Each structure stands twice: as structure tokens, then as C-alpha cells.
Amino acid sequence: MANTIDSRNIRVFISSTFRDMEEERNELVSKVFPLLRKMAKERQVTLSEIDLRWGITEKESQESKVVQICLEEIDRSHPFFIGVLGGRYGWCPMDEKVDWNSIISAKYEDAIHDLYEGKSMTELEIIHGAFRNKEDLHAAFYLRDMPSNEIEERQQELREKVSSQKDFPVNYYKNTEELSALVLADFQSILDELYPAESCNTWEAFSMQQNYYLESLTRYYVANKEAESGIANFLGQDVEKGLILTGESGIGKSTIMAKAVMNIRNSSEVDVLSFFAANSANGSTFNDMADWFCQGFASFYGFDYNREASHVLELQRAALTLRPSRKLVLFIDGINQIVATDGTGIDLSWWPRWNENIYVIVSTPSDVAIANNLSRFQFRKLEITKFNLDQRVDLANKYLKGDFNKSLSPSQLDIIGRANPLLDNTLVYVSFLDEIRRYGSFEKLTDEITMLSSFKTITEFFGHIIDRQRALFHTPELADQYNKVLMAIALSYCGLSENELLDLTGMSRLNLSMLLGINSLNLTVKDGKIVFAHNA
């Protein structure tokens, strides 16, 4: 099985019929799993749900590969499985009248036998995902309460099989709100058991958190040969001591920086330390940055770091005394977001001159003041340009296929790949892909992609997303609270904490957490404050 409890990547397979479970699946994908993803992220765990309402291509369907793909996805998701049952028994693959022995891998011999017995796809998934693979499995079943005369005969038999087994919890729900609460409770307990929350107050814990942050940034990395070459050329010379990556906000500088850090870590000839201002595990003052680097110097080179002293002064002392035997590269991402300890803004007058073998790479939006401030320290500039159309398509494939096993048709990719200035911004583009990924109708997917591609401004695009997300909250009162949350964040100078938002809006912590977990809204946490990512 590809997924194990030793991994920090969770994939949860959702099994149910489609037509009568659309509301349940929408609730899980749009509200429950975003919140679970947020909880997992706080524990340095990546979590994704496998919802195969679309993603299997027309060609794969025509070639009768649906069953094989579903079984493989269950294996990749092991040991996490959810079964949701209503009144329909669902599609029976045997109705296709094909030779399943010639189509499905022999390793699924038991499933082939079940196929020939005429079992539905949902029952096949439950048997393969839960009943035959019980070892270390974390599974749960959710059965909709409904009159027996609304339940098909074979579905009633399946519900009774599920209800009578004793290995996994079986829950009954009356509506999607009850389903949400049940799934959240079950999977939060699983997260607590497998990945207990830990404090990040040691160098090792900070390092682990930052490794997770770097891996998250580069999870869907699309090669930028120009940027990679520019960084390599800089590190290959010994005259200039600094490099500035510039470009508009949201264009992908942080991802490029993270990828460079991870590449250098694989080198046996270069040491690397990095500070990402948007990483919520650290504060984002220069004092916080200096503390992080000095802890690294102490770990790498035995630097005698006095943590009770001014961290900035200790960093200046390290610059004068450290003489590493091999090249050391310091990465500082989002230097424009780092402020003085007293909050007075960017001031680089204290920036030290580093000894030989120490090089610095920083990123900032195109900002003449910062560039001029650093120019006296022999910094060269490297401008990061927007994605070309091929890179845009590549990111779509990686984002949709990597965790969610969703594939777009060539004609759908063609729509995404067309020139559209709105999608030149990588942060906006990922929100665009997240909206597509959560969309529940295979038949209407092309229309959805076309509609989302038609927006010309960021305001129009996010306005549409906000309207759609408001509809997820089932009462006018919750929708109004939703508006208040977004307005408060937008009007705040530097974001608001969860407690501040709760006080301002009266929203429950659960509903607020669901809102904050929705990737498409482009929200992030910086220094404990919730902000829009493009303003971070």
C-alpha cells in the first residue's frame, strides 16, 4: 500500500454512489476536508480527499478502466477510507458485458470475482477498501437515515452488511450538517492519535516545521529554467555576495526559493539555511530571522550563540567570526515582509558584510527602495517572469493529478492554457484550479472551466468564489457572518487573529475554521494573523 501511517501524507478515499450523494460529497469536499486539511497542516501533515466524481477521462471510461482506477486509488489511500450510503445501490460494472479478466490486473482477482457476481461499484469499493484490508485501517461509515421504502433492495443488503460489522464505526445522519460534524469528529480523533500536536520551541522542531513548509511550497513545482539558471550562475561565481529575486506579488518567487533550498540541501558541497517570512512557525521581524540563523550557525558550526543577547547583534557577530570551510547560502524569502522588532518597517542599515564563502539570496516584489538598500552589499537582480502557457498547463496537471487523481481533457487544458492575464498570477491560478478540483459535475465541467476563465479581474474572480462559498452556509445568519469575516480581514492593516475574528463576527470557531480552510479564498496565516495571501 502506498499510504501508511508512517507517512505525513494522508489520502482519504470517499466511497458512495454519485447521483443521490451529490449534496453529501459537496459538503465533504467544500467544507469538511478543507478544515481537516487545515488541522493536518498545523501538524505538518498533508491531507487530500479522493473524490472521483470526475477525473477519469472519457478515453479511460470507454476502455472500461474505471474499476481498475478506483481499486488503485483505494490502495494508494490506504489506510484511510470513508463510506457514505444512501438509498441507491448504484452502477454495476458487470452491466457493460466485457471480459473483466482481460482488463483488470490479476492482483485484483477477488474484485473480479465480485464483479462477475454483479456487485455495484460502491460495494466493490467497500469490500476492497475496508472488508478485505482491515489491517491498521482507519475507516468509518455514514448511513443516511431514510424510510426503508426509499432504499433499493440490494442497497438495503449492503447497508445491513456495513451495520453488522464490528471493525469500524457506523454513524447515522439526518442531514449534511450532521454528516459534517460526524466526519470531523472521527477524523480529528485520527489526527490526534497519529499526529499529536507538538510545540515548535526547539531547533529540531523548527527545522521539521520548515521542511514541511518547503515541501508544501514545492509540491506542484513547475520548472522555471531561467530562474534556476540565474541562481546556479550566481552560486558559481565568487565576486557578488548577494542575489535579489524580484517580480510581482503572487508570481511564484517563494516556490522558486523553496525549490532552490531543497536542491542545495541535496548537495554535499554547499550548506544552506533559509528564512521564509510567511512561515507562521516563525515571527517575521529581523530579530526573529536573526535568531533562526544564529541557531543554525550553532547547529552547523558550533557558533557560541548567546540567545539572551540581541539576536541582530549576535547575527552581526556571526558575520564577522564565521568562516565556514565550504560555501554557505542564506535564503531570505519575502524580505519586504520583515520588519524591525518595534514594527517601524524595513530598515537594512544594520545589514552585515559577510565573510568569504557566505552568500545571501533574498526575494521581494519589484521594489526599488529595497534593491537600492542592498546594492551596496554587491547584490545582483534576477527578475522572475510570469508562466508561459505550457507551464500553466503543466501546473494544472500536477495540481489536479498529484493528490486528487483528476485529469482534464486536451480541450479543457486548451481553455486553461489560453492567454488570460488574470491567471498569470500564480496564487490566483492555484485558487482557480482549486475551484475546478472541488466542482462535482463531470458533465458540466467544461462549462465551469470556461466560466471561471472568463473573469478579467481579481476582484470579479474572488467575488464569484465568495458568493459560491456563502451558499455553503445553510442559514442567512451564517452567510452574513461569513461576509463580516472577509470584510474584517480585508479592512485590517495586518490581518486579524482567530480570536479577534470570533469577537468581531460572533461566528462559531467551527464555522470560522471551515471558512479559513477553503484554499480558493487565498487566506493564509502570518504571525498568528489571518491575511489574504497576496497581501502577506
Q: What is the pLDDT of residues 236-261, one digit of tens each?
A: 888 888 999 998 888 889 999 999 99
Report the C-alpha gap between 115 and 99 in whole angstroms: 10
Name residue 383's beta-bridge partners: 246
Q: Which of 214-223, 272-281, 328-337, 408-417 has the lowest mean pLDDT?
A: 272-281
- d(Cα 77, Cα 71) in Å, to the nearest integer? 10
Grid cell at residue 46: 498533508
| Cα distance from N-terminal residue to C-terminal residue, the chain | 39
Predicted local confidence at residue 142, as pLDDT: 98
pLDDT at 170: 96
Q: For 78-130, write each residue's pLDDT tens digit.
A: 999 999 999 999 999 888 778 888 889 999 999 999 999 999 999 999 999 99
3-class SS shares of the chain: helix, strand, coil, % to 5: 55, 15, 35
Cα gap 258→269, rounded to integer Å: 18
Task: Give pTM, 2 decimals.
Answer: 0.79
The listed range with the strongest mean pLDDT (351-355, 418-422, 433-437) is 433-437
pLDDT tens profile 185-201: 999 999 999 988 765 56
Grid cell digits, residue 265: 540541501
Mean pLDDT in residue range 253-276:
90
Give the pLDDT mean for 358-371. Answer: 82
pLDDT digits over 58-86, tens only? Answer: 666 765 788 999 999 999 999 999 999 99
Query: Is the per-residue pLDDT at 2 higher than 60?
Result: no
Does the pLDDT at position 528 exceed 80?
no
Phi, psi of 100 (to 5 degrees): -65, -30
Q: How far apart are the C-alpha atoms of 116 and 351, rounded to whole Å?
A: 72
- Lowest average pLDDT, out of 262-271, 359-368, 423-432, 516-525, goes to 516-525
**Of 59-63, 266-270, 347-351, 501-505, minimum mean pLDDT range:** 59-63
On the question of pLDDT at 1 being above 50, the answer is: no
Cβ contact 348:327 at 8 Å: no
Q: Which residues neighbour 450 within 8 Å (Cβ) at sequence distance 6 or greater?
A: 415
Q: What is the mean pLDDT of residues 342-357?
A: 73
pLDDT: is 45 or 522 the higher one? Answer: 45
Residue-wise pLDDT tens digits, 447-469: 999 999 999 888 888 888 878 87
The pLDDT, as a whole number, for residue 208 is 80
Q: Is the pLDDT of residue 421 over 90?
A: no
Between CA 167 and CA 530 the distance in angstroms is 40
- Of 84, 379, 429, the C-alpha closest to 242 is 379
Residue 317 to residues 240, 326, 378, 379, 444, Cα–Cα distance (Å): 21, 19, 20, 21, 62
Instruction: Evaluate whether 524 touches 278 at the Cβ level (below 8 Å).
Output: yes
pLDDT band at 520; cut points 50, 70, 90: low
Which position has the higher pLDDT, 294 or 57? 294
